[in-house]
Amino acid sequence: MKDVLIVGGNRFVGKLVAEKLQSEYNVTVMNRSGTAPTRCDIIQCDRNDEEKFADVMEHKSFHCVVDMCLYNKEQAEITSKILDGKTSKYIYISSVAVYNKSGIFPITEDFPTGNNYE
């Protein structure tokens, strides 16, 4: 079985993605809380801690990385540097959390963005 890393993956869509992939892949979930759906391997790590992120990924590689919680350019740069050569596929799945709060749904990609993830 091939290995997949899900960054995030303990809530919302990430949890569902992890559960669906388990039938065909070894799923590892990495997040700050250290929680994941049943049968997933867990890496408790905050990607913003570049040194720790690099350390936990030093001897790991994945067929695919699914990123559920990339919020800014700095995180993208850290992730790109640390996962370079450790995966052949990187999938980023966005969230409505990047958009300004609204009662309007669905939100389209041209909707105003804001700092709503904190």
Q: Tell me the pLDDT tens digit for each residue of 2-15.
A: 999 999 877 778 88
The pLDDT score that the predictor gives to residue 118 is 47
Counted domains in the chain: 1
- Tell me the CA distances in angstroms from 75 to 3, 20, 70, 80, 110, one per residue in order: 22, 26, 6, 8, 22
* Sheet architecture: strand order including 87-92: 41-44, 25-31, 2-7, 62-67, 87-92
The pLDDT score that the predictor gives to residue 44 is 96
Task: Give the range of the structural domain holding residue 18, as residue numbers without chain letter.
Answer: 2-98
Is there a domain that residue 60 lies in? yes
**What CATH number does residue 27 fall under?**
3.40.50.720
Is there a domain that residue 114 lies in? no
In which residue ranges of the chain is pLDDT below 50?
117-118
Is there a domain that residue 110 lies in? no
